[in-house]
Amino acid sequence: MAGSILGNRVLRKEDPKFLTTGGVYVDDLLDEPLLQGAAHVTYVRSTLAHGRILGIDTSDAAAMPGVIAIYTAADLGLEPVPSEFNPGVARGLLAIDKVRFVGEPVAVVVTETREQGEDAAEQVIVDYDALPVVIDMEDALTNTSLLYEAAGSNVVFDSTFVGRPGVSGPAFFEGCEVVSGPHRIVNQRVAPCPLEVRGSAVAWAPDGRLHQWLSSQGVQDAKNTIVATNGVEPDQVLVLTADVGGGFGAKIKCDPEEALLGVIAKKVGRPLRWRETRSESMMVLGHGRAQVQNLTIGGNRDGKITHYQLHVIQDSGYFVEYGTILAPFMTLPMASAVYDIPNIECQSTSVVTNAALTTAYRGAGRPEATAAAERAMDLFAAEIGMDPAEVRRRNLIGRFDAPHTTVVGQTYDVGDYEGALDKALAAAGYADLRAEQARRRANGDVKQLGIGVSTYVEITGGVGTGEHARIVVNDDGSATVYTGTSGHGQGHLTAWSMLAHEQTGIPMDKIDVIWGNTDLVPQGSGTSGSRSLQQGGNAVFLAAGDLVDKARAIAAKLLEADEADVVLDKASASFHVSGTPSIGKSWADLAVAAKADPELPEGLAHAAYYAVNGATFPFGAHVAVVEVDTETGQVRHLRHIACDDAGTVLNPMLLEGQIHGGVAQGTAQALMEEVRYDSDGNPVTSNLADYAFISAAELPSIEVVHMETPTFINALGAKGIGESGTIGSTPAVQSAVIDAVSHLGVTHIDMPCTPQKVWQAIAAAHA
């Protein structure tokens, strides 16, 4: 619309604080009155991957300087808590009878200082009866060493539980001219690595209420866990977030270490602080991905694919939680990807292993589906000797503006997959890249060029059924927006201010946004699944629009005019009678008047709930260009072109920031990141020296290609963007690496495509 702020490159309101005084994180809450004199909590963690607990000796630790108390599960009266997805699986918030991974909390030490806690925790002696370790997820399918005897197996969830039949045998491909597979593809376990590790602080206030600060993606859901753990009524708990230094899905849930703090604080009669170390975070904070994908693809020599078969083994880690259900609920429904394949069979099997929990890491099951489909496309293209971009084009679902249901039963909203592919290829100069690649191959250059293409579709905004928002106009004409979503870097302060300004005309610098406080915002679903703008943003837009109508009625009384004749002049942020702009009432005038109106006890305010009736399906295409040194295996990421269609764009600057971050994480998985364990279940990547973490030095400048296909699912026409970059980039970069050395006989390299793996693949092909 003319004069609209929406769709413009508006600078982030958040940035001045972070660039000057800096953020305030859980560990920075030094002046909070309730936390004065807080003691420190340190968790004693299992050093064994699998074993029965025979005894815990705390006597030496109790005699250490500064030790206030030491508790085990028995001391706190903890009982096993069953998984909501498998009744045969239950765990204690501290280990009870058995440990199941290195890093599992076994006891808790309370000390005067954090350093004293670290020293004392090392003196707690746990006597174990070691049990056989199950680390490999394929081995877990049949291994008789069970993590949970009551479950009867290490297989803890299967897609047949949600009505998906098993995958049939080779007969499925009868009639195909070409069949490629079966292929075993590893989508490796990775660590989220938020720059702010988990931390929390708790205090029981004089009025008997528990106040708990968390680094969280959603305090309302966290409150439910804290209420249950402490056995109190909901109105006895206040949960708050300070600034949050990254989450990426790993901070959606309230973890045992956080949930227990209120119980411990009441027992010692002191406020408490807890912050994990980086090594603890790497070992214990929920990991991502962790799938083995067995796929076979078949079709005709003209490039048309007719059959696709996928069996996913999902590693849940040591417990059955979010990670367990990612494959059946997120990967398999997206198995069709962007392709019109008439025959698809897919199945998943989730297992428990003696490793850290897996969770909803950025993309949560959708990157895994795209990685499988895109690898299948490349393998089929190689089998028939056709350009991989052309194979994709021949199998894309055609453009559609009304719902399209795939053969696996997923219904997409809108899509133009060929349009996205065309834009990305044109921006990359695809033909010129192939020509340069051919030149290097003909010359036998040491450094070979690789071009990787991926096309994808993902599901967003499907978490929860809607979101809450409230907007209040203050006496000075400023406004405060309260939102049930949670901001941790995405730009919610900017975005929600834009939406409120668009409806009310109140200047953006006079709009504040509040989240992460269960007293001020008691209802909300937090931030996950790229839902914030689609649900939270629409709620703000709706609440602000309704607030204008409420304000118009007040203005009509003050102006002694008919309500229908009163208009809002957004340029001056005032209401006046149509045709007489010289006499108006500002938002401040109306706020003061509303305060004096007994019929408006809350003043000039309005709350709204925006309900959604379905998910949206962003899509796009990425092109990655890499250079591989064939003598050392070293990979350089030269260029990355990203076309990510997220529907109507609210702020291109915020959109590009999300794409940049997503591409960085996706590239990191493709080239360097991997959580690894030895055969005894000991983590060998428990710090950032052993776990490769990407930096700007390893990344090219990302070339963003804009494309907007609005959705009809919500009023703004917006789709999610928070995970798209991660989904499109990973298979493109992996494909590019393999493409660079495919002429040498290399057909596949599992991620991460490290120099060692690339060199080994070249050597094996030569042999």
Retrieve residue 745's tokens: 């006989």
DSSP state of 358: B
Structural tokens at position 557: 């009384």
**Using CA atoms, how far apart are residues 314 and 291, in angstroms rounded to an integer?**
5
Quote the tokens at residue 752.
């991460």
What pLDDT score does 59 carry?
A: 97
Do 642 and 744 sit in the same domain of this protein? yes
CATH number of domain containing 564 = 3.30.365.10
Does one domain contain both 68 and 209?
yes
Q: What is the mean pLDDT of residues 429-441?
A: 98
Query: Other C-beta atoms within 10 Å of 765: how many?
Result: 14
Q: Out of 585, 611, 637, pick the residue that ends a domain.
A: 611
Do 586 and 735 lie in one domain? The reply is no
CATH of the domain at 95: 3.90.1170.50
The domain in which residue 271 lies consists of 18-131+198-275
pLDDT band at 465 (very low <50, low <70, confident <90, very high): confident
Are 276 and 199 spatial neighbours (Cβ–Cβ below 8 Å)? yes
What does the alpha-carbon distance between residue 659 and residue 11 come to, in Å, rounded to a whole number?
17
Number of domains composing the chain:
3
Report the candidate in 563, 439, 447, 543 with the shortest Cα–Cα distance to residue 500: 543
Give the residue from 232, 256, 275 where a domain finishes. Answer: 275
CA 715 to chain centroid, in Å, comes to: 24
**Pair type for strands 105-111 and 39-45:** antiparallel
What three-state secondary structure class fits 554?
helix
Check if the beta carbon of residue 484 is closer than 8 Å to that of residue 526.
Answer: yes
pLDDT tens-digit readout, 492-539: 999 999 999 999 999 999 999 999 999 999 999 999 999 999 999 999
Report DSSP letters for 430-449, one per residue: HHHHHHHHHHHHHHT-SEEE
Return the axis-axis angle of helices 430-443 and 417-428, rounded to nearest 10°. Answer: 50
- Bridge partners (DSSP) of residue 155 are 351
Rounded CA-CA distance 112/90 in Å is 33
Q: Which of 391, 386, 396 is nearest to 420 (CA)?
A: 396
Residue 208 contacts residue 238 (beta carbons within 8 Å): no
Query: Residue ranges of the alpha helices (H) in 587-641?
Result: 587-595
For 316-352, where are the E strands, in sequence order?
343-351
pLDDT digits (tens, 9 = 90+) for 335-356: 999 999 999 999 999 999 999 9
Q: Are residues 593 and 474 in the same domain?
A: yes
State percent of the chain over pLDDT 70. Answer: 100
Do 607 and 496 belong together in one domain? yes
Does residue 383 sit within a domain? no
Tell which of 240, 275, 310 closes a domain. 275
CB atoms within 10 A of CB 103: 25
Inside any domain, residue 159 = no
In a domain, 258, yes or no: yes
Residue of 39, 31, 104 whose CA lies nearest to 67 = 39
pLDDT digits (tens, 9 = 90+) for 673-708: 999 999 999 999 999 999 998 999 999 999 999 999
At 1 the pLDDT is 44
Q: How far apart are CA 433 and CA 412, in angstroms?
A: 33
Q: What is the DSSP letter of 142?
A: T
- Residues with Cβ within 8 Å of 668's Cβ and at least 6 positions away in sequence, in order, are 190, 692, 693, 694
623 and 607 inside one domain: no
What's the pLDDT tens digit per position in 80-137? 999 999 999 999 999 999 999 999 999 999 999 999 999 999 999 999 999 999 999 9
**Strand ranges in 400-440 using DSSP code E only, listed in sequence order:** 404-405, 411-412
Q: Both 619 and 596 in a single domain?
A: no
Pairwise CA distance, residues 345 & 170, whole Å: 12
Closest CA relative to residue 317, chosen from 94, 98, 154, 197: 154
Residue 435, Ramachandran bin (φ over 0: left; ψ between -120 and 50: alpha; else beta): alpha
- Count CA atoms within 13 Å of residue 733 on its CB side: 32
Kindly state the greatest CA–CA separation across the chain: 91
Print burial letters for 466-500: b (CB count within 10 Å at least 16), e (below 16). Answer: bbbbbbbbbeebbbbbbbbbbbbbbbbbbbbbbbb
DSSP 656-670: HHHHHHHHHHHHHHH
pLDDT digits (tens, 9 = 90+) for 699-732: 999 999 999 999 999 999 999 999 999 999 999 9
Range 180-198 average pLDDT: 97
Q: 119 exposed, middle or buried (CB, 10 Å; 0-12, 13-18, 19+)?
A: middle
Query: Would residue 561 be called left, alpha or beta, if left means φ above 0 and alpha means ψ between -120 and 50 degrees?
Result: beta
Amino acid at 110: V
Q: Does a structural domain hold residue 322? A: no
Comparing C-alpha atoms, which of 238, 278, 212, 198 is closest to residue 35? 212
Query: What pLDDT was estimated at residue 2?
Result: 53
pLDDT grade for 4, boundaries at 50, 70 and 90: very high
Dihedral Cα 21, 212, 200, 24, nearest 10 deg: 0
Decide if 97 is inside a domain: yes
Residue 361 has pLDDT above 70, yes or no: yes
Query: DSSP string of 71-83?
Result: EEHHHHT---EE-
Co-location of 85 and 232 in the same domain: yes
pTM of the model: 0.97
Q: Which of 638, 637, 644 is nearest to 622 (CA)?
A: 644
Shared-domain flag, residues 582 and 629 = no
244-265 pLDDT, tens digit per residue, is 999 999 999 999 999 999 999 9
Q: Which of 130, 14, 147, 121 is nearest to 60 (CA)?
A: 121
Together in a domain, 604 and 625: no
Does pLDDT of 16 surpass 50? yes
User: Do the beta carbons of residue 346 and residue 333 sit within 8 Å?
Assistant: no
User: In which residue are the tokens 């300087």 written?
Assistant: 65
Rounded to the nearest 10°, the torsion over CA 686, 725, 390, 376 is 40
**Portion of the chain with pLDDT greater than 90, in percent:** 97
* Mean pLDDT on 161-175: 88
Give, in order, the Cα–Cα distances in Å from 48 to each of 41, 91, 319, 361, 681. Answer: 22, 16, 16, 26, 8
- The answer to whether residues 657 and 602 belong to one domain is no
Asked if residue 18 has pLDDT above 60, the reply is yes
- Asked, for residue 314, whether it belongs to a domain, the answer is no
Q: Is 749 contained in some domain?
A: yes
**Whether residue 633 sits in one domain with residue 605:** no
pLDDT score recorded for residue 162: 84
> Does 360 fall in a domain?
no
C-beta separation of 508 from 497 below 8 A: yes
Q: What phi and psi, each to the nearest 5 degrees, are found at residue 312?
A: -110, 130
Closest by Cα among 104, 44, 194 to 681:
104
- Contact call for residues 495 and 651 (beta carbons, < 8 A): yes
What confidence tier does 163 reach under pLDDT thresholds 50, 70, 90? confident
Minimum mean pLDDT range among 226-230, 305-309, 349-353, 460-464: 460-464
What three-state secondary structure class fits 634?
coil
What φ, ψ does residue 739 adopt, rounded to 5°?
A: -60, -35
> DSSP letters of 188-205?
EEE----SS--EEEEEE-
Residue closest to 482 by CA, chosen among 507, 519, 529:
519
